[in-house]
């Protein structure tokens, strides 16, 4: 998902909304024995006078796999919101840098996906793990 900043500014359009689905690379799934088929991304952006672009977005997806404690099938719905800023100043370490022409959301979405994942996937709240009798 790319925001065509220069084109939009040329058209006098400084705000907008977007929605797309994306399939994360397998190495972006941190929880062992689980996978994410598809991530829904919805959000909006605003282009400011200094060419920086503020982007708000929400990720939603189902984390599916085996319970981290008992290995039973498990899935969890996850929703996560993020607010980021794209800037043209290459020395800005706090924000995402873009070339002033197109802002590619992929890195920001990948980062949010990493932050959004729980440490463990559980089959149910309070799972006590495999019972050994």
Q: Which of 3, 6, 10, 8 is nearest to 44 (CA)?
A: 3
Cβ–Cβ < 8 Å for 59, 116: yes
Q: Is 30 or 123 the residue whose CB approaches Zn ion more closely?
A: 123
Supply the minimum distance, in Å, between the C-beta of residue 68 and Zn ion. 8
Q: Is 84 or 121 the residue whose CB approaches Zn ion more closely?
A: 121
Q: Is 13 or 124 the residue whose CB approaches Zn ion more closely?
A: 124
Supply the minimum distance, in Å, between the C-beta of residue 33 and Zn ion. 12
Supply the minimum distance, in Å, between the C-beta of residue 90 and Zn ion. 47
b/e 44-79 (16+ beta carbons within 10 angstroms → b)? ebebeeebbbebebebebebbbbbbbeeeebebebe
Binding site residues, Zn ion, CB under 5 A: 67, 69-70, 72, 123, 127
């Amino acid at each position: 998902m790319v925001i065509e900043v220069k084109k939009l500014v040329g058209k006098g359009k400084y705000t907008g909304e977007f929605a797309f689905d994306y399939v994360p690379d397998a190495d972006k799934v941190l929880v062992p024995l689980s996978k994410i088929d598809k991530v829904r991304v919805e959000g909006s952006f605003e282009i400011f006078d200094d060419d920086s672009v503020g982007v708000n977005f929400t990720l939603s997806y189902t984390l599916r796999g085996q319970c981290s404690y008992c290995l039973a099938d498990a899935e969890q719905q996850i929703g996560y919101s993020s607010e980021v800023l794209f800037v043209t100043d290459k020395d800005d370490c706090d924000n995402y840098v873009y070339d002033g022409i197109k802002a590619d959301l992929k890195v920001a979405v990948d980062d949010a996906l990493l932050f959004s994942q729980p440490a463990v996937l559980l089959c149910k709240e309070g799972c006590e793990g495999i019972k050994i009798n």
